[in-house]
């Protein structure tokens, strides 16, 4: 286990050819280390520099004194820095050789190579941000759309933590009320106590439910929505994929069974990141390759959040359509009649006569906008939800669910007329999950696991 107090250094920009790169040094010795490597113009030393100001100078090889690179440096004194510790930041020329040489100079001057996410981990350990905010930093770097970015920014600003803070307060208050009953049995708080505790729990529950709802949407913003296109051969699935992705991604022919393998592509639909998957047309077949393709289609459908069922508007509805729809019974499905540019067969129109059916032409793209709107709706997003999305990641969502379950148990017990002290343990559990969420109570192993997913230098 690496120490959390020694001074660390890393390259914080992406490796490769670039205009500039940034080497960051954080810890108690950061300024002393920078002092050894830096020669300011006009003989100024690093120590003499003003806080949070860019200064021009050179980095030298600490053994030979030879110049390594021309740089701009800045110092950020604790606690007002990213990590909460002293930070020296060096802007050197981009390019792997110059950048590595500057990092090397820092390591030779006494810094240790930072691990992935270690700067952000220190910000957390120093209490500058909580765990939800630390995870938001990673989501900002990973953001796939503007909405994902906005949601992560909200979390970094502490909005989600604040909301969780309110739930914690209700629960803590409830525990305090129960405490009164336990410690001062001579006071006659019994009667009112039940009601007060229950009311507090109900408030906590309402808030938690809202957070949970947002959390599931947030997961979509972070991880993307999986959409599979399913239907019988020649329905126009691949042409629909091409229309949605705006490029000739999949081969389209009039031969039934053209697509053999699943083909996937990332797109954005109304600010939602979507992984869209074209599948092989599902049918009974003797062809070895097509058989494997059909099996893969079925697996892709199982994994998908939403399935687009494509019916061929130019052909008669048949048994294959029925079989595929039976397969989709448990899935969130959007029905589509394709090929609206030619006359739609009555058998298809009759089968898919619901209001929710989208009629479109993958060829002319007519009706594509309506499909995209349906997808956004089906994913549970509207414009204002997108703006306010207090998203959460999978870890956070799981803890919210656990907290809600414990809270529910406490409320059920109270409702069933159990003595109020018995609800106490469940309330404590619920609170504990929320502490784990924000990181007030979380094991070293979990912290390490969270931060190792970060990129180096962040
Ligand atoms: N007129 C018209 N033809 C279309 C439309 N969409 C697809 N087609 C035609 O239908 C045929 C099949 O299209 P594909 O996209 O290859 O169909 P598929 O569902 O991917 O078929 P498989 O890969 O075999 O399962 C091609 O000849 C397309 O040109 C449409 O909206 N209008
Ligand atoms: Mg195809």
Task: Give the Å distance between the CA of 339 and the centre of ligand 1.
Answer: 8
Which of 244, 248, 252 for a ligand 1 pocket mutation test, highest count of atoms within 8 Å of Cβ?
252
Among the bound ligands, name the one nearest to the CA of residue 242.
1
CA 252 to ligand 2 center in whole angstroms: 6
For the segment 129-134, the average pLDDT, to the nearest whole number, is 91
Q: Which two tokens stand for residue 105?
A: 């100079």
* Structure confidence by residue, pLDDT tens digits, 31-88: 999 999 999 988 899 999 999 999 999 999 989 999 999 999 999 999 999 999 999 9
| Percent of the residues in the chain that have a pLDDT greater than 90, as a whole number | 64
SS3 165: helix
Ligand 2 centroid, distance to 249 Cα (angstroms): 10
Could you report the per-residue pLDDT of 207-242, keeping only the tens digit for each? 999 888 877 777 777 778 999 999 999 999 999 999
Q: pLDDT at residue 422 above 90?
A: no
CA distance 376 to 365: 18
Angle at 54 between CA 53 and CA 56, to 5 degrees: 140
What pairs with residue 38 in β-bridges?
Answer: 59
Higher pLDDT, 418 or 276: 276
The set of residues, in sequence order, having a beta carbon less than 8 Å from that of 373 and lying 6+ positions away, is 270
Mean pLDDT, rounded, of the chain: 89
Whether this prediction's pTM lies above 0.75 is answered by: no
Find the residues whose C-beta lies inside 6 A of ligand 1.
231, 233-239, 252-254, 256-259, 280-281, 338-339, 341-342, 361-363
C-alpha of residue 360 to centroid of ligand 1, in Å:
12
- Contact residues for 374 (Cβ-Cβ < 8 A; gap 6+): 334, 356, 358
Query: Which of 233, 235, 236 to probe ligand 1 with, by most ligand atoms within 8 A of CB?
Result: 236
Q: Coil, helix or strand for 347?
A: helix
Ligand 1: atom nearest CA of 229 is 19
Residue 267: CA atoms inside 13 Å, Cβ hemisphere, count? Answer: 20
Per-residue model confidence (pLDDT) at position 1: 46
> For residues 234 and 419, what is the distance between their CA atoms, to the nearest angstrom?
65
C-alpha distance from residue 152 to each of 115, 138, 161, 263, 433 (Å): 23, 9, 12, 29, 21
Q: What is the helix (H) or strand (E) element at residue 202, kind and residue range?
A: helix 190-223
| Residues facing residue 267 across a β-bridge | 274
Q: If you average pLDDT over residues 371-387, what whole number do you get?
A: 78
326-344 tens-digit pLDDT: 999 999 999 999 999 999 9
Domains in the chain, CATH or no CATH each: 8-130 (3.30.1360.120), 135-221+391-452 (1.20.120.430), 229-266+278-378 (3.40.50.300)
> How far apart are alpha carbons 207 and 217 in whole angstroms?
16
Q: Which of 301-305, 352-356, 389-393 has the lowest mean pLDDT?
A: 389-393
Q: Considering only CA atoms, which residue is closest to atom 24 of ligand 1?
A: 257
Distance 264 CA to ligand 2 centre (A): 12
* Contact (CB, 8 A) for 279 and 262: yes
Q: Which residue has the higher pLDDT, 146 or 279?
A: 279
Cα of 250 vs centre of ligand 2, distance in Å, is: 7
| Probe target for ligand 1 pocket from 234, 250, 265, 280, with the most ligand atoms within 8 Å of CB | 234
């Amino acid at each position: 286990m690496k120490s959390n107090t020694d001074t660390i250094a890393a390259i914080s920009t992406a490796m490769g050819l670039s205009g500039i790169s940034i080497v960051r040094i954080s810890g108690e010795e950061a300024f002393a280390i920078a002092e050894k490597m830096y020669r300011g113009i006009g003989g100024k030393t690093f120590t003499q520099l003003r806080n949070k100001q860019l200064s021009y100078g050179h980095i030298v090889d600490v053994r030979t004194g030879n110049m390594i690179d021309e740089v701009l440096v800045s110092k950020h004194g604790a606690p007002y820095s990213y990590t909460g510790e002293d930070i020296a930041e060096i802007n050197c020329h981009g390019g792997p050789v110059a950048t590595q040489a500057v990092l090397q100079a820092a390591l030779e001057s006494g810094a240790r190579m930072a691990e992935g996410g270690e700067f952000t981990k220190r910000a957390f350990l120093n209490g500058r941000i909580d765990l939800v905010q630390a995870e938001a930093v990673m989501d900002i770097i990973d953001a796939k759309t503007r909405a994902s970015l906005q949601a992560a920014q909200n979390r970094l600003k502490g909005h989600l933590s604040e909301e969780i803070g309110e739930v914690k307060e209700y629960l803590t208050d409830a525990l305090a009320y129960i405490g009164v009953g336990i410690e001062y049995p001579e006071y006659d708080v019994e009667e009112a106590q039940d009601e007060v505790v229950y009311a507090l729990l109900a408030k906590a529950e309402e808030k938690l439910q809202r957070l949970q709802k947002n959390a599931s949407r947030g997961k979509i913003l972070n991880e993307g929505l999986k959409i599979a296109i399913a239907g019988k051969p020649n329905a126009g699935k691949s042409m629909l994929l091409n229309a949605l992705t705006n490029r000739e991604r999949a081969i389209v022919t009039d031969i039934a069974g053209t697509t053999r393998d699943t083909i996937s592509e990332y797109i954005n639909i109304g600010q939602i990141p979507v992984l869209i998957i074209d599948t092989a047309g599902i049918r009974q077949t003797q062809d070895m390759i097509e058989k494997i393709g059909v099996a893969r289609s079925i697996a892709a459908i199982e994994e998908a959040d939403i399935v687009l069922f494509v019916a061929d508007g130019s052909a008669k509805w048949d048994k294959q359509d029925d079989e595929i729809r039976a397969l989709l019974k448990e899935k969130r499905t959007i029905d589509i009649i394709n090929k609206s540019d030619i006359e739609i067969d009555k058998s298809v129109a009759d089968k898919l006569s619901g209001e929710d059916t989208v009629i479109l032409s993958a060829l002319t793209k007519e009706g594509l906008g309506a499909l995209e709107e349906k997808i956004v709706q089906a994913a549970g997003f509207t414009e204002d939800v997108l703006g306010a999305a207090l998203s959460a990641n999978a870890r956070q969502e799981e803890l919210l669910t656990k907290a809600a379950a414990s809270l529910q148990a406490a409320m059920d017990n109270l409702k069933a007329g159990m003595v109020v002290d018995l609800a106490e343990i469940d309330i404590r559990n619920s609170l504990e999950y929320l502490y784990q969420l924000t990181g007030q109570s979380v094991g070293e192993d979990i912290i390490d696991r969270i931060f190792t997913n970060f990129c180096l230098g962040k």
